[in-house]
Amino acid sequence: MGIDLLEFQTTLSSAVSLKGIGVHSGKPVTVTFHPAEADTGVIFQRVDDGAQGRLIPALASEVGETDLSTSLGNPAGDYVATVEHLMAAVAAMGVDNVLVEIDSPEVPIMDGSASAFVEAFTQAGMRQLSAKRRYIRILKPVRIDNGSSWAEFRPHNGTRFEVEIDFDSPAIGRQAFAADLTAETFSKDIARARTFGFIKDVERLWAAGYALGSSLENSVVIGEDNKVINMEGLRYSNEFVRHKMLDAIGDLALAGARFIGCFRSYRGGHRLNAAALRHLLTDRAAFQIVETTRREGGRSAEMIAVNAPVFAPWVL
């Protein structure tokens, strides 16, 4: 399998905190990850002054804006923006249950990648719980098109991502990257890929109140001459498409359970990822909820279908 099919749910062994700034707000943020009981899932809670303290589950049903990042919650009340890098680390590192306390409406950007979250979860450690872990097994192809962009889920014996991008800029061009999702693969090949943007877009974004915390310390920036202006250059030769895969992993983690299948996209982004996930979850013939069970005396795992309750998070 492309992902370890653990039989039981997990949580963190201890609490751990990170401090940074919001890439759009430019304001300081502290986020603390607390262990949580089985079947809690990933829950955000704002703890800053003026926040209502509402629990915001990291689920597709809570997705709001997807223009420049993925946001959860109600923009008129408690919401949390730019959750995708954190959620990618949650999914890849196998954290099933965690309470995320945050004192800002935006997850800290850190260095523009997911590596700080991977390090935090590794530092906190993992603890196995007694409740069974459930998976979403893709049964048939589900595809969504938007102009020249498209995304699809297909059956696959594992959890796989195949992402392709195509930019007019010669600094990026057409790039493709494919990987089976494991904690090791994510940490080595995906987690360190940074968000990116174009210097020509900066003034427009600033005027709209975005990217106020963006800098060369947390973004790969492409200059007017279509060259990367970061002194250290790229971390991977195809860092751009690897970051797009990181985003996709985080956006699809909002399914509420890991999926067993292959996700493919061409010229995708947060909006297309969210639309593809909703398209999948509203077609009950396209997936099955399964658990794993170990054969007695052996290490191999078998998947068995289970009846999901009507209030299950994957029922939109």
**In a 3-state reduction of DSSP, which class is residue 178?**
strand
Distance CA 35, CA 18 (A): 15
Nearest CA-CA partner of 291 in 4, 40, 5: 5
> How many other CB atoms are found less than 10 A from the CB of residue 299?
6
- Cβ burial of 285 (10 Å; 0-12, 13-18, 19+) is exposed
Q: Give the residue numbers marked as catalytic.
A: 270
Segment (H or E) for 13: none
251 touches 65 (CB < 8 A)? no
Distance CA 20, CA 131 (A): 34
Length of the chain counted residue by residue = 316
